[in-house]
């Protein structure tokens, strides 16, 4: 449905001309963005002509999808007022701010937690309105502010009773420990069952019900640092799970707030870990250069602070971004550095708990993906064999992703039988978890197999994968 404005929407027409998008092209982009979020939209060139010439305002998520579609073409965020749709239902910029003030940072994070329960977990609300609104440029200010000041000077909080209902909650170390235990449980659930599993979906509720009241409570500087650190871990996990389920706009907001909370915790390695997560998202979305910047920001601030294993992981993330950007030399140098740091790591090192997943297996798996992006199948096969040498029930999703990468390497090496065999194993693993990212890897493999579509082995693989690809996101 639409409602009519007074006269033509000249702003929308001007921006479309600037972006070089035709009426039919915009309609197609809006429909595609809607489909990514489960919306069935049937706009066509006539619909767009009405928006421009008659000033019709589409309802629901459509104005935000229009802005997102144009923003993707221009390579920058496009606010609604720029396209003459400021009167549409507003999509708040919640979660995108990186406040300098600690008190404002608490309000920014808790506002995001409250919003999520009404949105992402119910399959609608604000996350539906924000469909397709991921913009890598939104990471620029948070990253630069964190680089300039990676730790706040003081975070002690003693709010007056008038700031909330009743007396403020007095926070102690036992409260913080509960959040840390929740984060540890969430990490295990995510690795074993995927970001879309019901266990993982409890993380946003934990942030709303448990973390938010504590952040708004009363605490000393010492307890506050620990509280911000635990909240940052949970917030990053919520972002990672949203990323794994294809909710890129939600993931971006969680990551930004996690970085701000890590700064309040004065935990520089944790801040670097959040930046590394941002880098992986940017790289996955095709922004290799920006992924390099984010990974290098994590590295620079952690020199002399982080453990050898942590530095190895940051260099590995940098290598992933270089590979996606097509820079083989830089990717190779970063991989060599990552392996060197990993060789220096010792069991007695004081590694952070959130790095428990990282071992040589993970290094080899990501190295294989680097060489996949660089189209070097021999190297992909070598590292994938190492990555798959110790399959584990603890990291089910990682095992499935590695199988797909192995299948791609076999295919590019001319081994169709081996590619299909690995593909069948990958589909079996993917069917046991809830991970949009794993499903996309399988979809990419099937796309690569299209030239061999009549081969019985490929037909069998496609049939095995059909229930996975048809399952609701």
Dump the DSSP string for 73-92: HHTS---GGGGT-TTSPP--
Task: Name the percent of the chain lying above pLDDT 90.
Answer: 63
Residue 456: predicted pLDDT: 93
Least confident of 87-96, 252-261, 399-408: 87-96
Residue 36: predicted pLDDT: 59
- The first and second tokens of residue 106, run together, are 């608490």
Q: Which residue did the predictor score with more confidence, 91 or 444?
A: 444
Interatomic CA distance for residues 461 and 98, integer angstroms: 46
pLDDT at 122 over 50: no
pLDDT band at 3 (very low <50, low <70, confident <90, very high): low
Arithmetic mean of pLDDT, 203-214: 93
Best CA proximity match to 386, nearest among 407, 367, 410:
367
Interatomic CA distance for residues 5 and 41, integer angstroms: 22
For 151-174, the pLDDT digits (tens) are: 999 999 998 665 555 667 899 999
- The first and second tokens of residue 410, run together, are 């076999």
pTM score, whole prediction:
0.80
Best CA proximity match to 344, nearest among 368, 311, 302:
311
pLDDT band at 123 (very low <50, low <70, confident <90, very high): very low
Task: Name the percent of the chain lying above pLDDT 70.
Answer: 88
Residue 89: predicted pLDDT: 52
For 66-97, the pLDDT digits (tens) are: 988 898 888 887 888 899 887 765 555 678 88
pLDDT at 1 over 50: no
Interatomic CA distance for residues 328 and 354, integer angstroms: 29
pLDDT at 27 over 90: yes
pLDDT band at 118 (very low <50, low <70, confident <90, very high): very low
Best CA proximity match to 384, nearest among 340, 415, 345, 353:
415
Interatomic CA distance for residues 145 and 310, integer angstroms: 22
Q: Which residue did the predictor score with more confidence, 294 or 390?
A: 294
pLDDT at 119 over 60: no
For 296-319, the pLDDT digits (tens) are: 999 999 999 999 999 999 999 999
Residue 298: predicted pLDDT: 97
pLDDT at 2 over 60: no
Name the residue with tokens 């910029």: 93
> Which residues fall within 8 angstroms of residue 342, CB to CB, at 6 or more apart?
308, 309, 312, 360, 363
Interatomic CA distance for residues 380 and 448, integer angstroms: 16
pLDDT at 229 over 70: yes
pLDDT band at 38 (very low <50, low <70, confident <90, very high): very low
55: left (phi over 0), alpha (psi -120 to 50) or beta: left
Residue 196: predicted pLDDT: 61
pLDDT at 120 over 50: no
Residues in the chain: 473
pLDDT band at 200 (very low <50, low <70, confident <90, very high): low
Residue 140: Cβ-neighbour burial (10 angstroms; 0-12, 13-18, 19+): middle
Residue 117: predicted pLDDT: 44
Arithmetic mean of pLDDT, 55-71: 83
Residue 144: predicted pLDDT: 96
Torsion of CA 296, 106, 285, 298, to 10 degrees: 10
Best CA proximity match to 215, nearest among 168, 256, 183:
168
pLDDT band at 468 (very low <50, low <70, confident <90, very high): confident
The average confidence (pLDDT) of the chain is: 88
- The first and second tokens of residue 323, run together, are 């590979």
pLDDT at 13 over 50: yes
């Amino acid at each position: 449905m639409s409602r009519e404005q007074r006269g033509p929407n000249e702003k929308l027409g001007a921006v479309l001309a600037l972006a070089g998008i035709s009426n039919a092209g915009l309609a197609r982009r809006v429909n595609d963005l809607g489909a990514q979020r489960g919306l069935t939209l049937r706009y066509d060139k006539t619909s767009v002509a009405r928006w421009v010439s008659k000033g019709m305002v589409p309802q629901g998520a459509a104005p935000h999808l229009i802005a997102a579609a144009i923003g993707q073409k221009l390579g920058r965020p496009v606010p609604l007022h720029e396209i003459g749709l400021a009167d549409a239902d507003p999509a708040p910029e919640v979660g995108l701010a990186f406040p300098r003030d600690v008190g404002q940072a608490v309000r920014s994070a808790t506002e995001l937690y409250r919003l999520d329960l009404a949105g992402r977990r119910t399959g609608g609300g604000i996350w539906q309105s924000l469909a397709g609104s991921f913009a890598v440029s939104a990471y620029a200010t948070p990253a630069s502010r964190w680089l300039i000041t990676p730790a706040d000077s003081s975070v002690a909080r003693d709010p007056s009773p008038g700031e909330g209902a009743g007396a403020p909650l007095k926070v102690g170390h036992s409260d913080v420990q509960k959040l840390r235990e929740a984060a540890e449980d969430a990490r295990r659930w995510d690795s074993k069952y995927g970001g879309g599993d019901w266990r993982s979906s409890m993380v946003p509720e934990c942030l709303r019900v448990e973390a938010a009241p504590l952040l708004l409570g009363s605490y000393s500087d010492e307890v506050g640092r620990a509280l911000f650190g635990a909240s940052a871990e949970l917030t990053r996990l919520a972002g990672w799970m949203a990323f794994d389920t294809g909710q890129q706009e939600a993931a971006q907001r969680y990551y930004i707030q996690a970085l701000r909370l890590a700064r309040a915790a004065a935990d520089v390695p944790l801040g670097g870990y959040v930046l590394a997560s941002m880098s992986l998202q940017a790289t996955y979305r095709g922004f290799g250069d920006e992924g390099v910047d984010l990974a290098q920001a994590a590295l620079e601030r952690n020199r002399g602070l982080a453990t050898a294993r942590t530095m190895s992981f940051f260099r590995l993330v940098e290598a992933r971004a270089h590979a996606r950007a097509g820079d083989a030399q830089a990717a190779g140098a970063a991989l060599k550095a990552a392996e060197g740091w990993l060789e220096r790591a010792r069991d007695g090192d004081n590694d952070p708990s959130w790095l428990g997943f990282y071992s040589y297996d993970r290094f080899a798996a990501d190295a294989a993906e680097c060489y996949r992006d660089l189209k070097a199948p021999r190297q992909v096969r070598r590292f994938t064999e190492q990555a798959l040498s110790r399959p584990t029930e603890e990291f089910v999703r990682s095992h499935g992703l590695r199988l797909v990468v192995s299948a791609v390497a076999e295919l590019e090496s001319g081994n169709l039988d081996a590619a299909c065999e690995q593909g069948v194993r990958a589909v079996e693993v993917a069917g046991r978890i809830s991970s949009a990212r794993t499903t996309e890897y399988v979809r990419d493999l099937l796309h690569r197999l299209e030239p061999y579509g009549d081969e019985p082995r490929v037909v069998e693989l496609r049939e095995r994968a059909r229930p996975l690809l048809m399952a609701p996101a």
